[in-house]
Structure 1
Amino acid sequence: MANELVVIEKSTALEVFKSSDSVEDIIRKVEQEVNSFIPDVSTAKGRKEIASLAYKVAQSKTYLDGLGKDLVAELKEIPKLIDANRRTVRERFDTLRDKVRQPLTEWEAEQERIEAEKQMLAWHEEALEMNAAFDKALAERIESDHEIALLMNEKFDRDLAETKAEAERQHIAHEEELKKQAAEQARLEAEQKAQQEIEAAAQREREAKEAAERAEREKQEAIQRAEQEAKEAQERAEREKQAAIEAERKKALKAEQARLAEEERKRQEDAKRQEDKEHRRKYNQETLQALVSNGFDEKLATEFIKLVASNQIPHMTMNY
């Protein structure tokens, strides 16, 4: 396996790839392994060992390159996560701002409605006062015209006392008609003017009512817009939250799968090393027994086997 030459803990991989010295240390370790290897092409076993070492070097390269590639991929995900969190912060804080200001917004709308009602009441009171003033003026004018007519009648009576009764009746009738026409004209003019004022006041009242209704509609529309925007922002934040949770879940699952795979790989390698160690111990024991049975001292035979196994005696190897 590749880690027989290179082993890097995933938690320290970033520190390793950030340091040229660390990478050089790994390469030097592999170079030492390669340089200490003595190739032997004269036997099938020797050729197999050459191919095995070359394969381990190639696998180490693939292992290191893949580890670096995984690191780059993980680091590229960090800006995306930061941008997503920034977007969440902006939207959530905007929602909080609107929520905090909502009572003030409603209060301001209510103040506008109250002012509109006050204005409407003021116009209504003004119209009532004007109507009262017109009624009073009309009554005063009618009373004055009546007094004048009475005085005129008295004068006419004195002046025409000596005229014929028929002429007097005609004159009185004529004067009465004139008075009636004048009073009727005054009444019509006063009523027309009062009606115009009443209509103007009613128009102002209608306009004030329309303004109040318009203000109320705008208030309700603003409230509905704010509620809709808050709802949409909350739904959008919830969707992004669930997406982030799902991404984290997938990431955690992937990490857990990688951890389990790594543990399985280590377990298999440990088992292989233990098997190889047991195999070598058995062969070394058999070799020791053979040497002792042929007259070798057990202690010297043990040291001899260690020297051969560690390739410290030229032209001699242990065939495991």
Structure 2
Amino acid sequence: MENSLTSLDQVLALSPETAFEAFQSKHSVEKVIEAVRNEALSEVPDVETRKGRERIGSLARKVSESKTAVVKVIDNALVDAESQVKAVKATKKHVEEQFAGIRSAVLKPRDEWQAIQDELEEARQQGILSRITNINQIGNTTGDETLAELNDMAEALEMMTITQDDFAEFTGDALTAKEQAVKKVNDAIVKCVEAETQRQALHEQAVTNSINEIRLTAMHALEENVQAVRTRRETLSQLELDEVFYGERLKEAVSAKSDAIRQLDLLAEQKEALALPQENLIEAPQKMVKIPLWEHQHLQARDATLLALEAAGVDKWAGYDDAIAALMDSAA
């Protein structure tokens, strides 16, 4: 077809299908172009005349018309070719889809099996990760746990075994989780022990202060009158000692209360005796010494203090014997 195109009429007679094939190479139109060129340039019109100039324009229009005609044939061939390409592409797409469907049908049993395996693997991993999360949660404390509860948590972590069989590729994560949980629980135990120690120390001090306050009851009553001493004694006798508060020192508190009541009784009796009229006293002849009133009152108060100390068992206190020995030495 390439060598058979020699004139414009042959080109115009081509169908779109044959034109597309004919114009596969630019050399197919060389003879047609050459024919148009020879015809257009074979004349040499006189440009000096109007007719000659019009002839030049006529030849140029004929060349343009030839070009338009050939290009139109080529365009029609291209449109037809594009239509054919589109149809071929549609066929191509259909082939791809059909073969893809066949391939999917072939792969479906294996894909379904793989999906099940993936679900099982996901469940396996989630199960292990959930157990690791539980290990982490064991170490989470609120600060409100008792020491016994914390010790139970520590024991549970201590008894927990981390093996490759149980945690597979997450064994390292499980060991780290256990280590961190143990550290958090141990830290909480240390804080709890420190807080308990401080609480016990404060409680022990409170118990000591309470027992000392009971022991000093008679001392506080030295400057009071008989009625006030009796009232204080009655209040102390009605005082209930809390077993929970005193704990192991309850006996000590009971003893202190008993001693204080006895001291108050002695102090009240002594104050009553000192308040009796002189004529009711049977006295043996004795030498009299005149002393100022303030010194007399001071000696009375010191005597009451001594009686209270003796009633409390001062002779059993540490240093009592040394004090008596020093007093005897000074008197000698």
User: TM-score, normalised to structure 1's length?
Assistant: 0.29
Q: By percentage of residues, which structure has more helix? A: 1
User: TM-score, normalised to structure 2's length?
Assistant: 0.29
Could you say which structure has the larger radius of gyration?
Answer: 2
